[in-house]
Amino acid sequence: MDRIDPTQPCPNLPPQAQRLGTGLSRMRTVCLMLLTFLSLPCDLWAAENPSNYPSRAVKLILPYAAGGFTDQASRVVSDSLTRSLGQPFILESKAGGGGRIGAEYITKVAPDGYELLMTTNGTHTYMAVTEKNLSYDPIKDFTPISLIGTYGLLMVINPSIPAQNLGEFIKYARANPGRLNYATSGVGSGLHFAGELFKSMADVNMVHIPYKGSGPGMQDVIAGTCQVIFDGGAKPFVDAGKVRLLATTSGKRDPRYPQMPTMGEAALTGFDLTYWLGLMGPKGLPKEIQMKLNAAIKTALADPDVQGKLNGMGLNLVGSSPEALVADIKQETEKLRAIAASIPGGVQ
């Protein structure tokens, strides 16, 4: 007996019956396709619908090594996001190139909100100034979410220097041109920019000594080989009395040292070199997801426990709108370009 193909009309049936059979066959095919679609996993459905975001774990990509300041602060924020949004926010370090590798990575991921960038202005303003061939546009290739907080570097000196405050140090430096060394973590680093802006505004002549990281530089300030460093990680050495704190580079006082004036308050009106921690997504992130994350950041920063932990790291909390973050990046980049233009030998 010949085998019957159920998808083909039977040749022995009248035309009306053949048309009916063909219609039923098509209906059967459509039903099978619908059942297949409805059987897709629930999390795939949710991923397609921004209103259900997040439906699974979210990766926060850190462009710096684990254990550093960005990692520590990001853990506080990620824990709060996990609680408020109901899905794990997991930190993953993609360090290298001064932060460039992690930032580049985010520009290539799907804009679905499941991989985000927790970064500092190092990848979005400093690199725009110091890198000749940066592979990404700090504004066009990202979706801004929120500027989480700002912090300044601590200006510290070797205790042997006869200066108890910033004004006295400036007088001492002017009286000893070219005899003071300031340490940095390298040419074009934030520490380098801070030192050059200070030299310009204070009208002093200090010698730049670049190191491979702020750690070795700090050790030489403690030893007296260098006399000055601008370093966000100086607190343990300040508290131990190994260096003397003069001021902070930020426009706001460090929450850990509320009695210590900023450099602008102490002697150099208008001095403000502020660093920040912010959350970014890839270009094309849906507006609904962007604003849901922005609201979650603001909720986190309103939590007294989160506030205490981040203030304890030296962060002044912000929780900005996406638009404010973009405006800050543009303004800061222009400021850094002006500083870089004044540095002998450049920063690239």
d(CA 226, CA 230): 12
On whether residue 31 sits in a domain, the answer given is: no
**One domain, residues 187 and 91:** no
Would 14 be classed as within a structural domain? Answer: no
Both 137 and 158 in one domain: the answer is: no
Of 199, 231, 266, at which residue does a domain stop? 266
Q: Name the amino acid, one letter, at 222.
A: I
Same domain, 232 and 282: no
Q: 200: which 2 tokens?
A: 């310009």
**Is 177 found in the same domain as 130?**
no
Q: CA quadruple 127, 78, 107, 278: dihedral positive or negative?
A: negative
Both 74 and 139 in one domain: the answer is yes
Q: What do you get for the CA distance between the two ends of the chain, in Å?
A: 83
Integer Cα distance of 311 and 102 in angstroms: 26
What percentage of residues in the chain have a pLDDT greater than 70? 86
Last residue within a domain, chosen from 240, 266, 292: 266
Q: Which domain holds residue 286?
A: 48-149+277-342
Domains of the chain: total: 2
pLDDT at 20 over 70: no
Contact 184, 153 (CB under 8 A): no
Other C-beta atoms lying within 10 Å of the C-beta of residue 133: 5
Q: Is residue 320 domain-resident?
A: yes
Question: 318 and 303 in one domain?
Answer: yes
Kindly list the distances between the CA atom of residue 19 and the CA atoms of 3, 38, 44, in Å, as whole numbers in the listed order.
Answer: 20, 29, 38
Query: Which of 266, 285, 315 finishes a domain?
Result: 266
Least confident piece of the model among 59-63, 238-242, 343-347: 343-347
CATH number (domain holding residue 128): 3.40.190.150
- Name residue 317's beta-bridge partners: 149
Question: Are 192 and 95 members of one domain?
Answer: no
Same domain, 176 and 191: yes
Distance from C-alpha of 167 to C-alpha of 341, rounded to nearest angstrom? 26
Q: Is 21 a member of any domain?
A: no
159 and 248, same domain (yes or no):
yes
Residue 300 and residue 222 in one domain = no
Does 144 share its domain with 54?
A: yes
pLDDT at 118 over 90: yes
Q: Is the pLDDT of residue 3 over 60?
A: no
Residues 190 and 289 in one domain: no
In a domain, residue 347? The reply is: no
Instruction: Tell me the pLDDT band of 28, cut-offs 50, 70 and 90.
Output: low
Q: Is there a contact between 146 and 294 (Cβ–Cβ < 8 Å)?
A: yes
| Tokens 């804009």 belong to residue | 111
Q: Is 247 helix (H, G, I), strand (E, B) or coil?
A: strand
| Residue 197 belongs to domain with CATH number | 3.40.190.10
Share the mean pLDDT of the chain.
Answer: 88
